[in-house]
């Protein structure tokens, strides 16, 4: 299964950067967010593993504000696309600097190295609901202050729902999590959901995190 990575591109040249996003998404088979301004960094509900800063008009950017916003992203890697790198060099050890005009091959190579480094480490999926260590198959739920250990199947299931970030049908889940081509028993997924809710929900009979809408499952980000 495709690993769960959150890559965000921050650029005030949104229209121009969409082509780059599409190329990177296709190459790495992952979803990539695009934000139009630095002010949107705190609004990202899922903390990014990597931020690509497309800093073409450096003289128009409030670098003090930039530093303040991304200092909090302690586990995040950065790629800075700019003609100037000195203003960030003393702030972040995990910054890769690429000069304009951008060389796509160099960017792909840098991304590949960073993603392998992230995947090698016990990387963490974080949002306002929980912290999910995929490497350790462990989930910490903020609201109820509870840490739960997950089975490999439970971990893969959660990771898939987070990767899609939308309601997913039973058929798609069985195909991508179980990797079975033939039709499985109806209760296979339902049994997994039941066991998982016992672990992560305050009231499993009235689930607030792992929800069912119609016949599709999703993670409720508004919990």
Q: What pLDDT sits at residue 183?
A: 60
User: Cis peptide before 101, with omega less than 30 degrees from 0?
Assistant: yes
Tell me the C-alpha distance between 69 and 64, whole Å: 9
Position 222 scores a pLDDT of 76
Pairing of strands 146-149, 168-169: unpaired
Sheet holding 124-126, edge to edge: 124-126, 130-133, 138-141, 146-149
CATH classification for the domain delimited by 7-120, as one of 1.20.5.510, 3.30.70.260, 3.40.50.2300, 3.60.110.10: 3.40.50.2300
Selected residue with higher pLDDT from 111 and 49? 111
Q: What pLDDT shows up at residue 217? A: 95
pLDDT of residue 81: 82
State mean pLDDT over 183-197: 84
Average pLDDT, the chain: 78
Pick the CATH number of 124-219 from 1.10.287.990, 3.40.50.300, 1.10.10.10, 1.10.1200.10: 1.10.10.10
Per-residue pLDDT tens digits for 122-167: 556 777 788 888 778 889 988 888 899 999 899 989 988 887 778 9
Annotated domain spans of the chain: 7-120, 124-219
3-class state of residue 103 by DSSP = coil
What residues pair up with 9 in beta bridges, in sequence order? 34, 52
Position 1 confidence tier, pLDDT thresholds 50, 70, 90: very low
Entry pTM:
0.58
User: pLDDT confidence of 203, banded at 50, 70, 90?
Assistant: very high
Whether 53 shows a pLDDT value over 80: the answer reads: yes
What is the tally of helices (H) and strands (E) in the chain? 7, 12
Above 70 in pLDDT, residue 86? no
Distance CA 113, CA 19 (A): 22
């Amino acid at each position: 299964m495709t690993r769960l990575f959150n890559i965000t591109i921050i650029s005030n040249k949104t229209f121009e950067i969409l082509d780059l996003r599409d190329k990177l998404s296709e190459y790495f088979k992952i979803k990539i967010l695009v934000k139009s301004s630095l002010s949107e960094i705190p609004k990202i509900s899922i903390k990014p593993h990597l931020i690509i800063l497309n800093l073409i008009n450096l003289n128009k950017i409030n670098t003090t504000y930039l530093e303040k916003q991304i200092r909090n992203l302690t586990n995040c890697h950065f790629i800075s696309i700019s003609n100037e790198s000195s203003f960030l060099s003393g702030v972040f050890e995990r910054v890769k600097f690429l000069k304009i005009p951008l060389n796509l091959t160099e960017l792909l190579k840098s991304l590949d190295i960073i993603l392998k480094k992230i995947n090698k480490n016990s990387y963490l999926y974080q949002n306002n609901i929980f912290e999910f260590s995929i490497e350790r198959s462990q989930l910490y739920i903020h609201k109820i202050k509870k840490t739960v250990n997950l089975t490999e199947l439970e971990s893969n299931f959660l990771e898939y729902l987070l990767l899609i970030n939308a309601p997913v049908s039973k058929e798609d889940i069985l195909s991508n999590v179980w990797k079975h081509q033939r039709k499985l028993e109806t209760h296979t997924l339902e049994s997994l959901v039941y066991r998982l809710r016992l672990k992560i929900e305050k009231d499993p009979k009235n689930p607030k995190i792992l929800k069912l809408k119609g016949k599709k499952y999703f993670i409720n980000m508004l919990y």
